[in-house]
Structure 1
Amino acid sequence: MNRIQQLFDRKRENILSVYFTAGYPALDTTREIIGELQQQGADMIEIGIPFSDPMADGEVIQNAATQALRNGMSLHKLFAQLHDIRSEVDIPLILMGYLNPVMQYGFENFCRSCRETGIDGMIIPDLPFKDYLEKYKAIAEKYDLDVIMLVTPETSEERIRLIDENTGGFIYMVSSAATTGAQQSFDEAKQEYFHRIAAMNLRNPRLIGFGISNRETFDTACRNASGAIIGSQFVKLLAQETPAKAVARLLEMIGKK
């Protein structure tokens, strides 16, 4: 049982997972940001692999990825930075990135490096679910890695149940079909979607992401799932503050401090 499953076994509500882009705002801040997130109370961390064409991401994360690449970040460099990270951090760590860099690295090599550095899972938004089932599921399972799949308001019940049956960790509920980015509140249509998925009684726990930026959106996500994923709002704060202050400010904004 990996750390993601252990987390959900001991905590089923108000989970905070935080995303940041590796290599941003500076090339060498990755470990510092991870350390601060754990120290100040994040439950899980998603480490973004910068890519030149991040199609699911809004302007904030796109700009962060561009800057990270200019800073010299690469997948090889990220794994080097994460070497021995488990001597400092024990909460779940997930790598989130697009298929192109992972395929260039080699999928099995990628899984092997994840295992060696203590990564618990991956989110690859542009990995087709059919390809995952046919080509990659067995390899990921060999290295005890959860492949987290995204569902949106447009995802059919049949597809959601298929994802639930064939993946572990949790289901990433995207709050809307749009790109990432902060929102002030969730409208009635989004909340109806949250209720519809909750009523499906899925095997896997759920986290809601895209648009979580303040106490209202965080609390709404936590009422409708096991917790929330915050990305763009934290990346914005990292551009303005030291990692320690950015984490503290984020927790204050969502009412966890």
Structure 2
Amino acid sequence: MAETQSQNRIHQALEKPGKLLSIYYTAGFPNLEDTVPILEELQAAGADMVEIGLPFSDPLADGPTIQESSTRALRNGMHTELLFEQLKDVRKTVDLPLILMGYFNPVLQYGVEAFCRKCKEVGIDGLILPDLPLEIYQRDYQHLMAPYGLSMVFLISPQTGEARIRQIDAASDSFIYMVSSASTTGVQDQFGQGQDAYFDRIHAMELKHPQVVGFGISDAQSFQKATRTAKGAIIGSAFIRLLEREGLGGIRNFIENIRP
């Protein structure tokens, strides 16, 4: 079966030489209408992939920075339908792989198939729904999502056992989101020996799909350390702090400092 265009964008990014830099930010933050301008700035600055966060009122796994950005976005008036409206013409100016990341409840409230159909319409390439268990996805939702060509990205952590990791690898079709630690996002700002051992353990498993590391990457040093064995890394909280501090004007310098 031929791959869809949306799948190809993620795959092409993963197949490029060098390490992949993915950026996470919350839709509707710092201002309601910033969603697409941030994407355009990230593309111009040289980011490889972007995760757009769906703001949620009870973001349990997120650290204080992302929680606050979610609260601000909701206060600004962001909601799922508005995000899709903002993104309706995004493919006229942005070629980057785009992934929506958030909690499953807003997707369920919107209607799972309707949500996936809308993702395809606006050019979303993949989904990360950390609180949707693999088994539930496969049993109840995979048949609804599959026709829309969205890459489902699953998470592993230092606590994930080998059998489970191989199960996730088998279910994946692009990359595996490799959570660097058991802490919430934005709490840790450097890696220790525990993370090094974890990175080496996963690397030694020779999984079929590349890994992209998230949690704890904030600068060039942590990006290089996270990508020593992995294909790429994701920066979220540090980027949101930049937006809070400098707005969109600081994006290019931020990206260039991560990967000089």
If the length of structure 2 is used for normalisation, what is the TM-score?
Answer: 0.95
Aligned match for 1:4, one of 10, 13, 20:
10
Q: Does structure 2 conserve the Cα–Cα contact (< 8 Å) formed by 1:182 and 1:212?
A: no
Distance 1:179 1:12 in 2: 30
Residue 13 in structure 1 maps to residue 6 in structure 2: no
Distance 2:63 2:220 in 1: 21
Q: Which runs of 4+ in 1 moved over 4 A?
A: none
Cα offset, 1:249, TM superposition: 3.5
Q: CA RMSD in A?
A: 1.1
Deviations for 1:58-104, whole angstroms, at most 9, x for unmatched residues?
A: 00000000000000000000000000110101110000010110100
Structure 1: any 5+ residue segments left out of the alignment? Answer: none
Q: How does 1:157-172 map to 2 (within 5 A)?
A: 157-172=162-177
Residue 53 in structure 1 maps to residue 66 in structure 2: no
Distance 1:174 1:162 in 2: 16
Q: How many residues align?
A: 254
Aligned match for 2:255, one of 237, 251, 254:
251
Distance 1:101 1:141 in 2: 19
Query: Cα distance 1:82–1:71, how it changes in 2: closer, same or farther (>3 A)?
Result: same
Distance 1:184 1:102 in 2: 31
Query: Cα distance 1:182–1:227, how it changes in 2: closer, same or farther (>3 A)?
Result: farther
Look up the match of 2:150: 145
Aligned match for 1:230, one of 188, 212, 235:
235
Aligned match for 2:99, one of 88, 94, 101:
94
Cα offset, 1:251, TM superposition: 2.0
Q: How does 1:158-237 map to 2 (within 5 A)?
A: 158-181=163-186, 183-237=188-242
Distance 1:253 1:6 in 2: 24
Distance 1:195 1:181 in 2: 23
Distance 1:204 1:239 in 2: 34
If the length of structure 1 is used for normalisation, what is the TM-score?
Answer: 0.96
Identity %, equivalent residues: 52
Deviations for 1:153-206, whole angstroms, at most 9, x for unmatched residues?
A: 001111111111112110000000111015432100111000100111111111
